[in-house]
């Protein structure tokens, strides 16, 4: 009797367990997918537009370097020998990146508006809202299909510059008020993104031949840059002012004068003394930061999207050095251009590989059954 009772009891014990597990597994699949999308959107922020900003600036750099120049130096011909299809592929990659990031951010605005509001109220996060519009402007400048004289170019310029101007009115207006965002309290290295946005807009306007609009945006950007530069120079005397993981944003110190030299070059039509002074300032700030590697030691221990803050400033400096080399035509100018351009391209390639590896690792870890 004991053996028969055991045989009858076994199926009654096993069947409910199997059925319940299968039901819970089938019901959890859509919930897991919804939770994964929600977790992606909650972790996503405007700082990820550093990636599109870097890729778009690389497209501008490659467009300038591959242009044929008469009596070009041997170092310059190394870049001009690249096929134009390389620039086109990079431009489409940058376009796909900024479009994807923009789509994700729009979804976050629709589903998690409270988090967007918190980001807008942050004295650091609000500055990254300039990045998508700067990325679109750089893509417009480097486009292999649109000329600055076309109507589409001019319409798109207005579409991308209008949000920059609205952010300027919001942020710069608060700098004059004694509140939580007063400049002496809320200024940080990312505040220079607002300046860079105005300078990029001025450069694009100058290429269209809109000198007055270019001068307006340039004066707005360079004036606030001088105020911001002095404020940051006085406040950021030590390393403790910025968290260790965000210290790559220090590279924005030489990105702003680099873009200022490029914008003034487009306005004047030549790389004059003012452009050279701004380039020398940016090069000095670059050397000052590179000579202090311990400042960035902690931020390099683990991969973070903040690493992309290295790429855009290096590309902006390389762009300024290319214009300086084209004007001066000296041996030292050629060497500086070649070294900075090579380092800029190499850093961007390394960041793309590391980012792709981390994304694939994250996707594989999520796909594995628990």
Give residue-wise pLDDT tens across range 12-53. 444 444 444 444 444 544 544 555 667 777 788 888 999 999
Helices (H), the chain: 2-43, 49-65, 74-80, 84-111, 113-121, 131-141, 151-175, 183-186, 192-208, 211-235, 252-268, 273-290, 311-328, 331-367
Q: What are phi and psi of 149, to 5 degrees?
A: -85, -10
Confirm whether 133 is domain-assigned. Answer: yes
pTM of the model: 0.85
- Both structure tokens of 77: 């011909």
Domains identified in the chain, total number: 1
Closest CA to 207 of 282, 150, 277: 150
What distance in Å separates the CA atoms of residue 190 and residue 331, rounded to the nearest whole number?
35
What pLDDT, on a 0 to 100 scale, did the predictor assign at position 259? 96
What pLDDT, on a 0 to 100 scale, did the predictor assign at position 19? 43
Confirm whether 325 is domain-assigned. Answer: yes
Confirm whether 25 is domain-assigned. Answer: no
Confirm whether 11 is domain-assigned. Answer: no
> Residue 81 is part of a domain; what is its CATH number?
1.50.10.150
Rg, Å, the chain Cα set? 25
What pLDDT, on a 0 to 100 scale, did the predictor assign at position 15? 41
Domain extent, residue 205, equals 46-298+306-349
What pLDDT, on a 0 to 100 scale, did the predictor assign at position 260? 96
Q: What are phi and psi of 143, to 5 degrees?
A: -60, 130
What distance in Å separates the CA atoms of residue 116 and residue 107, rounded to the nearest whole number?
11
Confirm whether 140 is domain-assigned. Answer: yes
Q: Any idea what the Cα angle at residue 306 is, between residues 33 and 47, rounded to 5°?
A: 60
Confirm whether 60 is domain-assigned. Answer: yes
What distance in Å separates the CA atoms of residue 321 and residue 323, rounded to the nearest whole number?
5
Confirm whether 364 is domain-assigned. Answer: no
DSSP secondary structure letter of residue 126 = G
If 0-12 CB within 10 Å is exposed, 13-18 middle and 19+ buried, where does residue 48 land? Answer: buried
What pLDDT, on a 0 to 100 scale, did the predictor assign at position 310? 93
Print pLDDT tens along the chain (370 aa). 445 544 444 444 444 444 444 444 445 445 445 556 677 777 888 889 999 999 999 999 999 988 877 666 667 777 777 788 899 999 999 999 999 999 999 988 888 888 888 888 887 888 899 999 999 999 999 999 888 989 999 999 999 999 999 998 888 877 777 654 567 777 888 889 999 999 999 999 999 999 999 999 999 999 989 988 888 877 654 444 667 777 889 999 999 999 999 999 999 989 999 999 999 999 999 999 999 888 888 888 888 888 999 999 999 999 999 999 888 888 898 899 999 999 999 999 999 999 988 877 765 565 554 4
Share of the chain above pLDDT 70, in %: 82
What distance in Å separates the CA atoms of residue 353 and residue 302, rounded to the nearest whole number?
15
Distance from the first to the final alpha carbon of the chain: 41
Confirm whether 362 is domain-assigned. Answer: no
- Residues contacting 146, CB < 8 A, separation 6+: 140, 152, 153, 156
């Amino acid at each position: 009797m004991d053996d028969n009772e055991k045989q009858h009891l076994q199926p009654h014990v096993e069947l409910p367990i199997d059925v319940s597990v299968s039901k819970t597994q089938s019901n959890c699949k859509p919930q897991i997918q919804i939770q994964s999308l929600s977790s992606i959107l909650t972790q996503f922020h405007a700082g990820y537009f550093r990636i599109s900003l870097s890729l778009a600036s690389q497209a501008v750099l490659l467009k300038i370097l591959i242009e044929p120049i008469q009596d070009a130096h041997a170092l310059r011909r190394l870049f001009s020998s690249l096929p134009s299809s390389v620039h086109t592929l990079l431009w489409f990659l940058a376009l796909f990146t900024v479009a994807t990031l923009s789509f994700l951010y729009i979804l976050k605005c629709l589903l998690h508006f409270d988090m967007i509001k918190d980001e807008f109220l942050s004295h650091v996060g609000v500055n990254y809202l300039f990045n998508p519009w700067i990325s679109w402007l750089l893509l417009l400048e480097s486009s292999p299909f649109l000329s600055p004289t076309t109507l589409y170019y001019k319409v798109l310029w207005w579409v991308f510059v209008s949000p920059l101007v609205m952010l300027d009115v919001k942020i710069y207006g608060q700098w004059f008020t004694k509140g939580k965002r007063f400049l002496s309290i809320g200024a940080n290295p990312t505040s220079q993104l607002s300046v860079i946005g105005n300078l990029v807009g001025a450069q694009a306007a100058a290429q269209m031949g809109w000198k007055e609009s270019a001068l307006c945006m340039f004066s707005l950007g360079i004036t606030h840059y001088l105020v911001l530069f002095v404020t940051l120079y006085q406040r950021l005397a030590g390393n403790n002012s910025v968290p260790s993981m965000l210290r790559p944003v220090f590279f924005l110190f030489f990105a702003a004068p680099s873009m200022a030299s490029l914008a003034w070059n487009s306005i004047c039509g030549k790389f004059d003394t003012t452009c050279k002074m701004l380039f020398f300032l940016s090069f000095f700030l670059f050397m000052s930061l590179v000579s202090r590697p311990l400042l960035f030691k902690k931020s390099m221990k683990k991969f973070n999207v903040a690493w992309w803050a290295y790429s855009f400033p290096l590309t902006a400096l390389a762009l300024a050095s290319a214009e300086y080399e084209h004007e001066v035509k000296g041996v030292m100018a050629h060497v500086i251009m070649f070294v900075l351009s090579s380092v800029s391209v190499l850093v961007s390639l390394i960041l793309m590989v590391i980012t792709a590896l981390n994304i694939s690792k994250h996707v594989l870890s999520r796909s594995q059954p628990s």
